[in-house]
Every structure is written in structure tokens, then in C-alpha cells.
Amino acid sequence: MFNKKIFSFFAVFFLCFLFTGANDLYARDGAALFTQNKCNACHQVEGPATDKTIEDLLRRNGPELWYAGSKFRPGFLGKWLADPQPIRPMEYYSLTEPNKNDHPRLPSEEAKAVAAYLMTLTSGDVGGAGIVARKNIKGKKVFAKEFSCYGCHQMRSRGHIMGGLSGPSLAGARERLNPEWVYAYMVRPKVFKPVKDMPVYSGLVNDKKMRNLSEYVSNLD
């Protein structure tokens, strides 16, 4: 009885060690693969945000990833990196050129390791607000009636893709975006994008509406 207890204690301890150790190794492989594949030619992985002018922003060849672990849903990045589909309808910060759909693609094992690495990059400004993805009718009203967010963002409505092309598509946000990040981004956009194209809404509506809006947006299918 006693021995059995000690044995299971050590077995659990060992398994935990194996698991966290393996995950760590995986993320370290991912970091190496990120550099080998020259992903940093286009993506910033060290925060905080440093852009000061529109020129700084336009010099970038891809979105910053220094808070990727806070922005994306677990599971999304591994799939996307192995089979990237356009998120922004247009080329990065272009209003005229459609997205060429030519993002580098990784073999699925490498994609998983790089995703594990990217998920370790988090921001202390995200989390703890209790935002969950859900069908939120009040949020829908803010999205569609109060601010016309779809003027710049695509979304899926009754099976059809509709909406503007200048912002990232919000179709599939439920699989892609962490609800807590959506809220943090709406409330404190400057932490993530000191210079930005999207209008700033914080201060225009009360917190309750921001929460409803964030829940609605992160539930878009």
C-alpha cells in the first residue's frame, strides 16, 4: 500500500517532468526553426511595440508576433502555419493589391514546434477580464449599428462573406482569436499598435459595451 503510493507519486512526478520538459524542448526547436526559416525578416518577436510613425509601420513586412501567445487560440497557429490561408483580404497595408496567398508554409511537424514557440510569447496586458466567446446580441448591435465595424472587416453572415477589405477578416475569429485579447485590443489598442489604421474606440463607449462587443467578435464563425 505504502510502496504503491510512493510509486504512483514518482510516476506522476516523472510524467509531469517528461511532459513539461518535452514541451519546452519543442518550443526551443520552434524558436530555432523560426530563425532558420527567416521568419524574423518580416515579424517582430520582441515587445513592447516600438512604432512611432506611419513610416515605421509601413516598413514592416508582416504583423508583429511578440504577443502571439496572447492573441491566438491554442491550436490555431499549428494548423495555419502548415496551411496558411489569407487573413487580410489585401496585401499587408495595401489598399489596392489583393492578398497573393503566398505566405511561407511549414511541414506540419515544424509548424507545431513553431506554434509552441509562438504561444510562449505573451503580453501581461491580456487576460483576467472574464471575456468568453459567445453569441452576444448586444455586442452584435454595437458591431453593426453603432460602429459599422464591417465597413473595414469581413465576416460570415448566413454562409456568405461580406464586409470591407481594409482590415483583417474577422470570419473565423472563433477559431483564431483569444477573446481576452480582443477585449484588451479594443480597450488599450496602443499597447499592441501604437500607430494604427483602425479607429480607436476606447473612451467612446462604456466598458459594458466593450465587453459585449469583444464577446460577439470573438464568436464570429
Q: Give the footprint of ligand HEC on this chain (CB under 6 A).
A: 34, 37-39, 41-43, 61-63, 65, 68, 77, 81, 86-88, 92, 99, 103-104, 106, 114, 143, 147, 149, 151-153, 166-168, 182, 185, 193, 196-199, 201, 213, 217
- Nearest CA to 72 among 199, 163, 198, 185? 185
Task: Please identify, using beta-carbon distances, which residue of 62 and 127 lies nearer to ligand HEC.
Answer: 62
Q: What whole-number distance in Å separates Cα of residue 131 and Cα of residue 77?
A: 21
Task: Please identify, using beta-carbon distances, which residue of 24 and 97 lies nearer to ligand HEC.
Answer: 97
148 phi-psi bin (left φ>0, alpha ψ -120 to 50, beta other): left
Task: Please identify, using beta-carbon distances, which residue of 11 and 190 lies nearer to ligand HEC.
Answer: 190
Task: Please identify, using beta-carbon distances, which residue of 8 and 40 lies nearer to ligand HEC.
Answer: 40
CB of 176 to ligand HEC, least distance (A): 7
CB of 156 to ligand HEC, least distance (A): 15
**Bond preceding residue 199 cis, omega within 30 of 0:** no
Tell me, what amino acid is at 190? K
CB of 13 to ligand HEC, least distance (A): 34
Task: Please identify, using beta-carbon distances, which residue of 87 and 129 lies nearer to ligand HEC.
Answer: 87
C-alpha cell at position 73: 487560440
CB of 56 to ligand HEC, least distance (A): 12
Q: What whole-number distance in Å separates Cα of residue 33 and Cα of residue 191?
A: 28
Q: What whole-number distance in Å separates Cα of residue 103 and Cα of residue 81?
A: 9
Q: What whole-number distance in Å separates Cα of residue 111 and Cα of residue 107?
A: 6
